[in-house]
Amino acid sequence: MSDTTMAAQTAPRTDEPVLKIRNIESFYGPIMAIRGVSLDLRKGQIVSILGANGAGKTTLMKTISGVMDPEKGKITFEGREIQGMEPHKVVEAGIVHVPEGREVFPLLTVEENLNLGAYTLKDRAQIERDRELVFNYFPILKERRAQEAGTLSGGQQQMLAIGRGLMANPRIMLLDEPSLGLSPLLVKEIFAILKRLNEEQGVTMMLVEQNAQAALNLAHHGYVMEVGRIVMDGPASELMKSEDIQEFYLGGHHDEGGREQRRWKRKKTWR
Ligand SMILES: Nc1ncnc2c1ncn2[C@@H]1O[C@H](COP(=O)(O)OP(=O)(O)O)[C@@H](O)[C@H]1O
Ligand SMILES: [Mg+2]
């Protein structure tokens, strides 16, 4: 039984990269935040990007979703180059970015927030079906559909942020630290829903996480970023066994950054 679980976790659904990133460089003014990143996202996969604070994970997602333009490099989605495309065009193409910090509109209701996610769609019946789908995965949002989003708990707001992303009917979801600030129980609940969305709806996912344990449990493949570069990648089940990953992320209980930061600085860079 555990054999089939392992196989399901390591085997990508197909071998075709749906998103190809090649030698991306992105800057904030003179600061190079992404220093030549290349990675593949295969159809049906969940790929996790791990890395310490400031590694460039969010910048990478912003570059894919068109919020930032790369100075160099190519991003190919389903055979079409999308680097430098306007963010709404990227959404229309089928890539949705659920940003860090679960940004919902606090004074709008749950339902109004969801409707905003469907802004690229015109077919009312389709929007209705998508809303039902979101309510099916997140029943609490249905219960609270008329409530202002600002009155939801942190976990519910994260669910709403994900639900709003789903309303655009994405083929790829970019999820930036969905576990941030949530209790372990809620993280488990949300990750279980992400897994179902991946398996049942075929949504391909890129998941940025500092919670490496949860991320590698969910993901098929993982990449590790350090100072704007990919320094390691492999099947999630192998990364979990890697000594570096064990030491940096999985080695017991880290307190809020202090100890982890010191250990990080003491150690040489990988490779
Ligand atoms: N708005 C910004 N202006 C200038 N530098 C930034 C800005 N946002 C991020 N950076 C810098 O870019 C690098 C990567 O940041 P980020 O992508 O947010 O990392 P991560 O998401 O991995 O924590 C860091 O050195 C950070 O200080
Ligand atoms: Mg970030």
Question: DSSP states of 180-224 as a string?
Answer: TT--HHHHHHHHHHHHHHHHHH--EEEEEES-HHHHHHH-SEEEE
Ligand 1 atom at minimum distance from 60 CA: 17
Ligand 1 atom at minimum distance from 57 CA: 22
Q: What is the pLDDT of residue 250?
A: 64
Q: Give the mean pLDDT of the chain.
A: 88
Taking the CA of 180 as reference, the closest ligand is 2
Per residue in 225-262, pLDDT tens? 999 999 999 999 999 988 888 777 765 444 444 444 44
Q: State both tokens at 108.
A: 């709008």
Ligand 2 centroid to Cα of residue 180, in Å, is 10
Q: Hey, which of 25, 28, 260 would you mutate to test ligand 1's pocket, going by the most ligand atoms within 8 Å of its Cβ?
A: 28
Per residue in 171-215, pLDDT tens? 999 999 999 989 999 999 999 999 999 999 999 999 999 888 889
Task: Check pLDDT > 60 for residue 9.
Answer: no
- DSSP symbols for 79-125: TEE-TT--HHHHHHHTEEEE-TT----TTSBHHHHHHHHTTT---HH
The answer to whether the pTM exceeds 0.85 is: yes
What gap in Å lies between CA 29 and CA 122, rounded to an integer? 38
Mean pLDDT, residues 216-230 taken together: 95
What gap in Å lies between CA 65 and CA 26, rounded to an integer? 13
Amino acid, single-letter form, for residue 142: K
Is residue 51 lining ligand 1, measured as CB closer than 6 Å? yes
What gap in Å lies between CA 83 and CA 77, rounded to an integer? 9
